[in-house]
């Protein structure tokens, strides 16, 4: 049976590799994102190793899609620029928060996570993903303050909200963006 499974998957991989690679890729990405979610939630830190792993997975996947002609080069460039743009926005917000309030607004783990999310979501899905992240983070933060679990000004890990926003945008980001554009 083992030989059958190995042989079957080998010929499936040779015949149409993306039918095999895509589920494995999304499984690996899901596991890394779950590890980031739980680590930031429990310890308020996103390890650089997890950020680098997620970025590497997303980059190799997008390069592979582009190389095989499944994704256009312009889409790859927009995805790359989405991640860089989000990273720059987080750096600017971090700098403004530090200048005005003398505290950190974002941790470096959140900033380092941004390029990976840009590669995974691309343009324009990055916009609803980040918007949903900020809305969820704000709602949870306000609820924690109301119920006395946190005080105003205490830190709240933002990585879990970035992960949740990314998952929502991966599934419904196109529909959310289309709905928003239609309302304009």
Looking at residue 33, its pLDDT comes to 97
Looking at residue 51, its pLDDT comes to 97
Looking at residue 2, its pLDDT comes to 55
Looking at residue 137, its pLDDT comes to 95
Looking at residue 4, its pLDDT comes to 54
* pTM (2 d.p.): 0.88
Going from the first residue of the chain to its last (184 residues), give the mean pLDDT of each consecutive group of 10, the final group possibly shorter: 56 63 90 97 96 97 90 94 95 89 82 96 95 96 94 89 96 89 82
DSSP, residue by residue, the chain: -HHHHHHHHHHHHHH-HHHHHHHHHHHHHHHHHHHHHHHHHHHS---HHHHHHHHHHHHHHHHHHHHTTSS-HHHHHHHHHHHHHHHHHHHHHHHHHHHHHSS-SS-HHHHHHHHHHHHHH-TTTHHHHHHHHHHHHHHHHHHHHHTTSS-TT-----HHHHHHHHHHHHHHHHHHHHHHHHH-
Looking at residue 37, its pLDDT comes to 98
């Amino acid at each position: 049976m083992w030989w059958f499974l190995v042989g079957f998957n080998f010929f499936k991989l040779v015949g149409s590799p993306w039918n095999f690679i895509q589920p494995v890729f999304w499984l690996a990405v899901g596991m890394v994102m779950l590890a980031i979610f739980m680590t930031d939630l429990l310890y308020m830190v996103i390890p650089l190793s997890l950020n680098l792993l997620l970025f590497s997975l997303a980059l190799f996947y997008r390069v592979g899609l582009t190389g095989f002609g499944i994704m256009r080069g312009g889409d790859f460039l927009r995805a790359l620029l989405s991640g860089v743009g989000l990273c720059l926005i987080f750096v600017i917000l971090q700098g403004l928060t530090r200048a005005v309030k003398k505290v950190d607004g974002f941790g470096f783990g959140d900033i380092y996570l941004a390029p990976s999310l840009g590669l995974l979501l691309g343009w324009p899905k990055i916009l609803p993903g980040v918007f949903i992240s900020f809305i969820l983070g704000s709602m949870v933060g306000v609820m924690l303050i109301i119920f006395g679990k946190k005080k105003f000004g205490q830190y709240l890990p933002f990585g879990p909200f970035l992960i949740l926003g990314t998952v929502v945008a991966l599934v419904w980001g196109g529909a959310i963006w289309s709905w928003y554009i239609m309302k304009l």
